[in-house]
Amino acid sequence: MSESILVTGGTGTLGRHVVDRLHGSDIRVLTRSPRASAPYTAVAGDLATGVGLDEAVAGAGTIVHLASDPRRPRTDVDGTRRLIDAARRAGTRHLVFISIVGVDRHPYAYYQAKYVVERMIEDSGLPYTILRTTQFHDLVLFMAQTLARLPVTPIPSGWSFQPVEAGEVADRMAALALSEPAGRVPDMGGPEILPAREFVGEYLAAAGRRRPLAPVRVPGKVSQAFRRGVHLAPGHADGRRVYRDFLAERVRRGRPAAGYGRSWA
């Protein structure tokens, strides 16, 4: 059997772009419910239970692990453990993982789970590559949309983000998947750091909505970490597309709002 590339989370915000960029390869996408109409080769497997993973991983020389569920961080840890076990049994030669800038220093539970997964991969004995990035444009837009639902829009004081285009991250991930294992590679960030007031205001302007903005100092260690900029990578402003251009395209396409959720398989 010739080796293929298996992608987990291949239908998510990042995954669909990665799958598109690997279209010239023998690529398969892990899913709990394969559909004959899908524009890729879907293979059945469930990271949440382990059912079908051995069969899905068989023959995959490279696994690109993108599946994630911010609402249930523990699921990421348990699912990755099952994937690593299956990859060991299959003799997978390269495990590529997407992570987040600052997970080793941030108390947010989802980020902590990402760091646990990083260490599991590093200790797995499998050849691996790990890329950390800043937040995607899609997430920042989702946050702005959520905050703007209230009559007075709260703005977390001191919070800033460095949004990066998911397609540009996909370019990097695809290149890493087609290369030799490289361990933890340099972080990747967006081209600009935006205060919360700015990215919310830009969303409201693009959507043609008016809301008074009210600065709010959010208490707690998680908020403190965001104020410190633990999640930012100012030394790795590798992205090219700025948030404003991303918003403008959404408006042109008639989709100024965003959906952002889990990318699990």
pLDDT bucket at 258, cuts 50 / 70 / 90: very low
> What string of DSSP letters covers 150-216?
SSSEEEETT-EE--B-HHHHHHHHHHHHTS---EEPPPB--S--EEHHHHHHHHHHHHT----EEEE
E strands, the chain, in order: 4-8, 27-31, 41-44, 60-65, 94-100, 128-133, 153-156, 160-161, 183-184, 194-195, 213-216
**For position 263, what pLDDT does the model report?**
52
Provide the pairing of β-strand 4-8 with 60-65: parallel
Q: Helix 137-147 and helix 243-252: axis angle, to 10°?
A: 70
**For position 34, what pLDDT does the model report?**
74
**For position 33, what pLDDT does the model report?**
79
Is the full-model pTM beyond 0.85? yes
Tens-place pLDDT, residues 205-250: 988 888 899 999 999 999 999 999 999 999 999 999 999 999 988 8
**For position 2, what pLDDT does the model report?**
58
Residue 170 has pLDDT above 50, yes or no: yes
**For position 39, what pLDDT does the model report?**
64
Segment 15-27 shows an average pLDDT of 89
Closest to 114 measured CA to CA, from 160, 181, 183, 67? 67
Tell me which amino acid residue 120 is: M
Q: Which of 4-8, 33-37, 214-218 has the lowest mean pLDDT?
A: 33-37
Q: What percent of the chain has pLDDT over 90?
A: 81
| Higher local confidence (pLDDT), 259 or 183 | 183
Tens-place pLDDT, residues 86-140: 999 999 999 999 999 999 999 999 999 999 999 999 999 999 999 999 999 999 9
pLDDT bucket at 264, cuts 50 / 70 / 90: very low
Residue 67 has pLDDT above 70, yes or no: yes
